[in-house]
Structure 1
């Protein structure tokens, strides 16, 4: 792989191209929670996730244009990159950071979430592994990140999402009696 290089793409380019749709998944889940969640704690968490990840996406898009002189390429359904099962993803990444991103991390399923009989439980069951994937991606990427401001964002992502995972784990244990 080389230091910070993945083919002709830098680790920073790859991270941004992968993290934006990952964040978009969490934002979509948060949007659902704002209308379907019963517990105010879930609604507050959803507001926080939506706000922070929308801001991070905007910042990553701006950095990408500034650093790489082009807009962030999109991928997903209809873009030829594939979502389900195709681990190729953008830039042909088969492993490393691309691992699991064909599913946006943690088996996220918006249609199952939108119809879940116990939305709050299903939200936690999907958001924890989704956040765990985000933490893994940001942790791996900061090792080779070439831009200190992106590395600082990655560190902040790891800290915030780890804290949210711990909070959701506590709620789950308290509300449902299991881990």
Structure 2
């Protein structure tokens, strides 16, 4: 007689925990909608959004602290491109019934994100020192974004996600090359 209540409790717990995966913003709804998006596609958007938000945070610092036209122009280009990409990826996540990351929720520990110490160094720098540090830091940050995009290209299934990932690889690759060129000129 005691076995039935235990089995019922275990069954209820399994049912509840299974439901948490769907309600908690997991990727199960994507498979059910027939959207053509995979777990990789969802993860790409959910991680690239905070990554782009951090790029925009760095770009705002440049608009406030930079003395160099190249840094200011690069920061403006990054803000424009990545704001549009955030809107695009947010729309995909919403259409897949998956949580869209809120601004500032990723923290500094997510792969590809700059640490609080790296951001603090920039916040405390000024003049030519700021510009040099910003270029080095932004190039590092963009490289991690390119790596994230390459993963989406290799294993993603959603054609628009793969198109965006290719645009990120190409666009950020060119931006990194320009930044690296500017850093080399300054030496």
Q: TM-score over 0.5 for the alignment?
A: yes
Superposed displacement of residue 54, structure 1: 0.5
Q: Label 1:84 to 1:21 Cα distance change in 2 as closer, same or farther (>3 A).
A: closer
* Structure 1 residue 46 corresponds to structure 2 residue 99: no
Question: Does the 8 A contact of 1:12 with 1:141 survive in 2?
Answer: yes
After superposition, the CA RMSD in angstroms is: 2.3
Map of 2:173 onto structure 1: 162
1:40-96 CA deviation, whole Å, 9 max, x = no partner? 111000000000001000000001111x1244144865xxx7x355xxx6xxxxxxx
Runs of 4+ in 1 over 3 A off after TM superposition: 6-9, 73-77, 105-108
Map of 1:97 onto structure 2: none
- Aligned partners of 2:123, 2:55: CA distance in 1, in Å? 13
Unaligned runs of 5+ in 1: 1-5, 90-99
Q: Label 1:106 to 1:139 Cα distance change in 2 as closer, same or farther (>3 A).
A: farther
Tell me the TM-score normalised to structure 1 length. Answer: 0.76
Q: Label 1:148 to 1:17 Cα distance change in 2 as closer, same or farther (>3 A).
A: same
Superposed displacement of residue 111, structure 1: 2.2
Q: Label 1:55 to 1:33 Cα distance change in 2 as closer, same or farther (>3 A).
A: same
* Structure 1 residue 29 corresponds to structure 2 residue 38: no
1:10-32 CA deviation, whole Å, 9 max, x = no partner? 11111111100000110000011
Question: Does the 8 A contact of 2:53 with 2:103 survive in 1?
Answer: no
* Structure 1 residue 61 corresponds to structure 2 residue 90: yes
Q: Label 1:33 to 1:60 Cα distance change in 2 as closer, same or farther (>3 A).
A: same
Q: Label 1:141 to 1:105 Cα distance change in 2 as closer, same or farther (>3 A).
A: farther
Q: Highest Rg: 1 or 2?
A: 2
Question: Does the 8 A contact of 2:108 with 2:115 survive in 1?
Answer: no
Query: Secondary structure of the equivalent of 1:109?
Result: helix
Structure 1 residue corresponding to 2:120, chosen from 98, 111, 129: 111
Q: Label 1:165 to 1:24 Cα distance change in 2 as closer, same or farther (>3 A).
A: same
Map of 2:4 onto structure 1: none
Superposed displacement of residue 119, structure 1: 0.9
Q: Label 1:159 to 1:106 Cα distance change in 2 as closer, same or farther (>3 A).
A: farther
Q: Label 1:10 to 1:156 Cα distance change in 2 as closer, same or farther (>3 A).
A: same
* Structure in which a larger fraction of residues adopt helix: 2
- Aligned partners of 1:28, 1:75: CA distance in 2, in Å? 11
What are the within-5 Å matches in structure 2 for residues 127-146 of structure 1?
A: 127-146=138-157
- How many positions carry a matched residue from both structures? 151
